[in-house]
């Protein structure tokens, strides 16, 4: 047992609690300066602000915006989509490639496409096509349904429609006919057997599609999607397959239509070195295809342009060790060099950047319904209580007697805390063996938590980030019950341990005194958020505020615009949340361009083949029987039916 004494070595005279908390402290704590730039920041009121047009446009107070949406009966949980951010991201991508083309005096162009699978929402795709019109920005489809979107929405004859994914004869025929309609679809051969279907569809229709080939690169990628390349990857042709495909196209008189080489390294490339290798390899394949007599003209570097979710600029899973400009420079410089050294004209460069375009534009805001916290009560212990409890009380009192002005040394802190934990374990063992009852066990737990609280008050500035302190704070951590479903709104946090920036959107001028994680509304024990960004690392607890009865506590999940919506599921029958599209006006205000209503309970029931009317009728008959039996009053039966009927029309989330 540690002997309690004053620490011999003072660490300075201010404990970590003494300075006033500012919004700058919050910005640093939540990494906002790192990942939020240029769109998200904090104002003097301690609210998160949004600059949808980046540095150049007006600023919105996110908390005020949420309140005003609530005023329009669009309460939380709410998905807010900033269409100006979408446009700004597209501008930046285009700009980065234009700068690189100028800097490296690249003789070709850049022409991007949006991979529809990243976010298929109508308003998102339409917005991107509208904003991208000036550069003939196109779409990439990975399935027949996505092809339908691309065919119907992209009307510019110069815009590319990249047709990826598995293709049957009808898919290919559709692409050929669309070319005659004046569109620019490129059928990318991803499987060796597709070339025969292309040949037979072309013979059938007496017309050919534009053709591309997806190459399986040998360059290894890294990160979660690293196995999207390499010999065992799902898509793409090996070099021998490419050679025989070229042969078959030549024999069928279709080699003239082979114009594009495609590769895709997998999403969220963390390390730029991986990209450089792939670009060199793909460049050589491009050169060889030209030499074999294909006209070529396009090189499509696929997706994978990463998002720096934690702003750490590292080659870790929630980050990237490069910027958008670095990426564009590498693509342009590497391929420029390759073509120049072989004296062939440089291709039009295509990227299928999805994540990098749509991640930033949507913010999910949810409210906290309650907090599960450890008890703050300190029980009184008498001499009649068991030795274990008396030991714990003594430990607690000894800590309480320590001055709060001379901080405790780390090693000593740990020693005292170990004592408390040991006594708590003893209490648990005694309980299991039947020596103490529930009441004593409760007291032991309360005293242990009390020890942690008293120790924290005496930690010095120097140790404020130490593991020892984190251990203490974790012992007191709270569960924040959140009004949303992980499985619906943030599925990747569950499925692939993806990290998104998560933080309160207000009270940021107040010191967050609690550590906590989030539990969602589902009955699934996986339905929780317990991993948070931490500047290149990951932490399991987030600094949060104590709930204030007078005000809803609102949390934002940021950078979730890519993949989350469509991957989300109806687990526990939680449906979509309300979504709003916000556009800045020329006067610096905003307007709500579109409202996409949340799924009602009727919607999600019908999705599972239940008929809400039928369910209501069964309930009505049950109430009728209960009325006959005298168990239910008519007025209560009506109240029950009213509740259920109203509920069917409302969203699946809890109301304020
Ligand atoms: C998924 C996918 C993309 C999009 O990748 P991001 O990392 O979101 O940019 C692009 N191309 C292909 C072939 C894909 O499968």
Burial of 387 (0-12, 13-18, 19+ CB in 10 A): exposed
Averaged pLDDT, 244-254: 98
Averaged pLDDT, 16-29: 85
Entry pTM:
0.92
Give me ligand 1 centre to Cα 325, in Å: 19
Give the helix/strand (H/E) hosting 390. helix 387-401
Question: Which numbered atom of ligand 1 lies nearest the CA of 225?
Answer: 7
Contacts of residue 646, defined as CB under 8 A and 6 or more positions apart, other chains included, come to none
Question: Which numbered atom of ligand 1 lies nearest the CA of 262?
Answer: 13
Burial of 428 (0-12, 13-18, 19+ CB in 10 A): middle
The CATH class of the 82-361 domain is: alpha beta
Distances in whole angstroms, Cα of residue 38 to Cα of each of 24, 32, 338, 394, 483? 16, 10, 35, 53, 28
Averaged pLDDT, 527-532: 96
b/e burial code for range 399-421 (CB count within 10 A of at least 16 → b): beebeeebbbbbebbbbbbebbe
Averaged pLDDT, 312-332: 96
**Residue ranges of E strands in 326-474:** 348-350, 362-372
Quick one: pLDDT at residue 7?
A: 40
Quick one: pLDDT at residue 45?
A: 98
Quick one: pLDDT at residue 458?
A: 84
Give me ligand 1 centre to Cα 352, in Å: 6
Give me ligand 1 centre to Cα 576, in Å: 24
Nearest protein Cα to ligand 1, atom 3: 303
* Residue 562 near residue 268, CB atoms below 8 Å: no
Question: Which numbered atom of ligand 1 lies nearest the CA of 352?
Answer: 10
Residue of 304, 305, 317, 563 to mutate, ligand 1, most atoms within 8 A of C-beta: 304
Q: Are strands 78-82 and 362-372 parallel, antiparallel or unpaired?
A: antiparallel
In percent, how much of the chain has pLDDT > 70?
94
Specify the 3-state DSSP secondary structure of 579: strand
Out of 84-98, 219-233, 452-466, 540-554, least confident range: 219-233
Pull the structure tokens for residue 98.
């234009």
Pull the structure tokens for residue 112.
């991007």
- 152-186: pLDDT as tens digits: 999 999 999 999 999 999 999 999 999 999 999 99
Q: Which residue has the tokens 């020329």?
A: 586
Averaged pLDDT, 398-405: 87
- Cis status, amide bond into 77, omega within 30 of 0: yes
Question: Which numbered atom of ligand 1 lies nearest the CA of 164?
Answer: 13
Whether residue 472 is predicted with pLDDT greater than 90 in this model: the reply is no
Length of the chain: 656
In percent, how much of the chain has pLDDT > 90?
87
3-state DSSP: the chain helix, strand, coil percent, rounded to 5?
45, 15, 40
- 569-578: pLDDT as tens digits: 999 999 999 9
Phi, psi of 101 (to 5 degrees): -60, -40
How far is the C-alpha of 256 from the C-alpha of 321, rounded, in Å? 40
Quick one: pLDDT at residue 545?
A: 97
Averaged pLDDT, 528-553: 95
* Residue 578 near residue 597, CB atoms below 8 Å: yes
Phi, psi of 211 (to 5 degrees): -120, 140
Out of 122-136, 354-368, 449-463, least confident range: 449-463
Quick one: pLDDT at residue 298?
A: 98
Residue of 89, 116, 118 to mutate, ligand 1, most atoms within 8 A of C-beta: 118
Nearest protein Cα to ligand 1, atom 10: 303
Give me ligand 1 centre to Cα 310, in Å: 21
How far is the C-alpha of 208 from the C-alpha of 252, rounded, in Å? 11
Quick one: pLDDT at residue 223?
A: 67
Whether residue 5 is predicted with pLDDT greater than 80 in this model: the reply is no
Give the fold, CATH level 3, of 387-474.
Answer: Methane Monooxygenase Hydroxylase; Chain G, domain 1 (1.20.58)
How far is the C-alpha of 302 from the C-alpha of 324, rounded, in Å? 15
* Residue 575 near residue 488, CB atoms below 8 Å: yes
Q: Which residue has the higher pLDDT, 466 or 310?
A: 310
Spell out which residues line ligand 1, taking CB within 6 angstroms: 115, 117-118, 140, 142, 164, 264, 267-268, 302-305, 352-356, 562
Give me ligand 1 centre to Cα 263, in Å: 10
Give me ligand 1 centre to Cα 438, in Å: 56
Domain ranges of the chain: 82-361, 387-474, 601-648
Question: Which numbered atom of ligand 1 lies nearest the CA of 353?
Answer: 9
Q: Which residue has the higher pLDDT, 415 or 558?
A: 558
Nearest to 345 by CA among 310, 402, 298: 298
What confidence tier does 39 reach under pLDDT thresholds 50, 70, 90? very high
Averaged pLDDT, 465-483: 86
Out of 457-466, 501-510, 591-600, least confident range: 457-466
Pull the structure tokens for residue 208.
């050919």
How far is the C-alpha of 63 from the C-alpha of 55, rounded, in Å? 20
Q: Which residue has the higher pLDDT, 353 or 410?
A: 353
How far is the C-alpha of 188 from the C-alpha of 530, rounded, in Å? 41
- 213-234: pLDDT as tens digits: 999 998 776 666 666 666 667 7
Nearest protein Cα to ligand 1, atom 4: 303
- Average pLDDT over all residues of the chain: 93
The CB density around residue 247, as the number of other CB atoms within 10 Å, is 13
Nearest to 277 by CA among 347, 355, 330, 349: 330
Return the bridge partners of 459, or none.
408
Quick one: pLDDT at residue 655?
A: 87
- 444-471: pLDDT as tens digits: 999 999 999 999 888 766 655 577 777 8
Give me ligand 1 centre to Cα 302, in Å: 6
Quick one: pLDDT at residue 464?
A: 59
Averaged pLDDT, 113-140: 97
Burial of 612 (0-12, 13-18, 19+ CB in 10 A): middle
Give me ligand 1 centre to Cα 500, in Å: 19
Residue of 278, 302, 358 to mutate, ligand 1, most atoms within 8 A of C-beta: 302
How far is the C-alpha of 186 from the C-alpha of 204, rounded, in Å? 18
How far is the C-alpha of 35 from the C-alpha of 409, rounded, in Å? 34
Pull the structure tokens for residue 64.
């005020």
Quick one: pLDDT at residue 230?
A: 67
Nearest to 472 by CA among 529, 410, 547: 410
Question: Which numbered atom of ligand 1 lies nearest the CA of 355?
Answer: 8
Question: DSSP of 591-639, one letter per residue?
Answer: EEEEEEPPPBHHHHHHHTT--HHHHHHHHHHHHHHHHHTTSS-HHHHHH
Q: Which residue has the higher pLDDT, 281 or 57?
A: 281
Whether residue 17 is predicted with pLDDT greater than 70 in this model: the reply is no
Q: C-alpha dihedral over 313, 268, 222, 167, to 10 degrees?
A: -170
* Residue 105 near residue 129, CB atoms below 8 Å: no
Specify the 3-state DSSP secondary structure of 551: strand
User: End-to-end CA distance of the chain, in Å?
Assistant: 50
Give me ligand 1 centre to Cα 114, in Å: 9
Specify the 3-state DSSP secondary structure of 641: helix
How far is the C-alpha of 575 from the C-alpha of 366, rounded, in Å? 14
Whether residue 59 is predicted with pLDDT greater than 90 in this model: the reply is yes
Question: DSSP of 356-381, one letter per residue?
Answer: HHHSTTEEEEEEEEEEE---------
Out of 142-151, 214-223, 293-302, 627-636, least confident range: 214-223
Give me ligand 1 centre to Cα 641, in Å: 48
Return the bridge partners of 212, or none.
188, 260
Residue of 267, 274, 305, 322 to mutate, ligand 1, most atoms within 8 A of C-beta: 267
What confidence tier does 412 reach under pLDDT thresholds 50, 70, 90? confident
Give me ligand 1 centre to Cα 265, in Å: 8
Whether residue 190 is predicted with pLDDT greater than 90 in this model: the reply is yes
Classify residue 285 by its DSSP letter.
Answer: H
Distances in whole angstroms, Cα of residue 258 to Cα of each of 164, 170, 190, 543? 15, 20, 13, 56
CA 328, chain centre distance (Å): 24
How far is the C-alpha of 38 from the C-alpha of 598, rounded, in Å? 30
The CB density around residue 350, as the number of other CB atoms within 10 Å, is 26
Q: Which strands sit side by side in the sheet containing 113-115, from one edge to the other?
A: 113-115, 138-141, 160-163, 184-189, 210-214, 258-262, 298-300, 348-350
How far is the C-alpha of 581 from the C-alpha of 333, rounded, in Å? 38
Phi, psi of 296 (to 5 degrees): 55, -155
Pull the structure tokens for residue 94.
């285009």
Give me ligand 1 centre to Cα 39, in Å: 24
What confidence tier does 91 reach under pLDDT thresholds 50, 70, 90? very high
Nearest protein Cα to ligand 1, atom 14: 303
* Residue 85 near residue 60, CB atoms below 8 Å: no
Question: Which numbered atom of ligand 1 lies nearest the CA of 356?
Answer: 9
What confidence tier does 13 reach under pLDDT thresholds 50, 70, 90? very low
């Amino acid at each position: 047992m540690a002997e309690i004494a004053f620490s011999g070595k003072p660490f300075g005279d201010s404990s970590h609690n003494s300075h006033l908390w500012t919004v700058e402290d919050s910005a640093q704590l939540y990494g906002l300066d790192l990942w939020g730039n240029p769109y998200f920041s904090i104002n003097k009121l301690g609210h998160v602000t949004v600059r949808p047009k980046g540095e150049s446009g007006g600023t919105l107070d996110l908390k005020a915006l949420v309140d005003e949406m609530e005023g329009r009966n669009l309460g939380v949980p709410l998905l807010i989509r900033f269409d100006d951010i979408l446009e700004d991201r597209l501008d930046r991508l285009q700009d980065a490639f234009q700068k690189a083309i100028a800097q490296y005096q690249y003789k070709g162009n850049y022409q991007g496409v949006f991979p529809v699978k990243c976010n298929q929402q109508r308003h998102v795709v339409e917005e991107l096509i509208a904003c991208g019109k000036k550069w003939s920005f196109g779409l990439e489809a990975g399935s027949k349904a996505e092809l339908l979107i691309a065919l119907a929405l992209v009307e510019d004859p110069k815009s590319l429609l990249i047709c990826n994914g598995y293709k049957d004869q009808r898919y290919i025929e559709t692409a050929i006919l669309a070319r005659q309609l004046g569109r620019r679809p490129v059928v990318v051969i991803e499987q060796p057997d597709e070339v025969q279907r292309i040949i037979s569809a072309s013979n059938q229709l007496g017309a050919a599609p534009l053709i591309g080939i997806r190459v399986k690169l040998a360059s290894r990628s890294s990160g979660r999607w690293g196995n999207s390349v390499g010999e065992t990857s799902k898509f793409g042709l090996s070099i021998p397959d490419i050679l025989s495909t070229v042969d078959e196209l030549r024999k069928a008189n279709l080699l003239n239509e082979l114009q594009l080489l495609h590769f895709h390294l997998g999403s969220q490339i963390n390390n730029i070195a991986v990209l450089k290798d792939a670009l060199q390899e793909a460049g050589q394949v491009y050169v060889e295809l030209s030499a074999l007599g294909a006209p070529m003209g396009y090189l499509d570097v696929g997706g994978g342009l990463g998002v720096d979710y934690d702003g750490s600029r590292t080659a870790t899973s929630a980050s990237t060790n490069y910027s958008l400009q670095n990426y564009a420079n590498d693509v342009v410089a590497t391929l420029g060099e390759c073509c120049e050294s072989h004296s062939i004209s440089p291709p039009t460069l295509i990227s299928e950047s999805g994540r990098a375009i749509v991640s930033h534009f949507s913010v999910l805001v949810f409210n906290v319904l309650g907090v599960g916290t450890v008890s703050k009560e300190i029980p009184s212990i008498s001499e009649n209580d068991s030795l274990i409890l008396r030991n714990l009380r003594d430990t607690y009192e000894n800590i309480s007697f320590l001055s709060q002005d001379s901080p405790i040394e780390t090693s000593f802190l740990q020693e005292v805390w170990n004592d408390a934990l040991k006594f708590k374990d003893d209490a648990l063992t005694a309980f299991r063996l039947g020596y103490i009852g529930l009441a004593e066990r409760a007291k032991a737990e309360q005293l242990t938590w009390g020890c942690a609280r008293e120790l924290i008050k005496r930690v010095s500035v120097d140790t404020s980030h130490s593991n020892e302190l984190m251990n203490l704070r974790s012992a007191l951590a709270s569960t924040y019950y959140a009004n949303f479903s992980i499985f619906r709104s943030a599925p990747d946090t569950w499925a692939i341990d993806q990290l998104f920036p998560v933080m309160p959107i207000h009270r940021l001028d107040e010191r967050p005194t609690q550590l906590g994680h989030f539990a969602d509304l589902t009955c699934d024990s996986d339905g929780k958020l317990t991993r948070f960004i931490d500047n290149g690392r990951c932490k399991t607890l987030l600094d949060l505020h104590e709930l204030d009865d007078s005000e809803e506590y609102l949390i934002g999940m940021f950078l979730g615009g890519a993949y989350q919506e469509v991957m989300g599921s109806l687990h526990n029958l939680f449906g979509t949340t309300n979504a709003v599209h916000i556009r800045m006006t020329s006067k610096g205000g905003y307007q709500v361009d579109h409202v996409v209503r949340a799924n009602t309970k009727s919607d999600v029931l019908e999705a599972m083949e239940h008929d809400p009317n039928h369910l209501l009728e069964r309930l009505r008959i049950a109430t009728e029987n209960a009325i006959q039996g005298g168990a239910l009053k008519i007025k209560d039966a009506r109240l029950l039916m009213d509740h259920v009927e109203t509920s069917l029309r409302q969203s699946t989330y809890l109301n304020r």
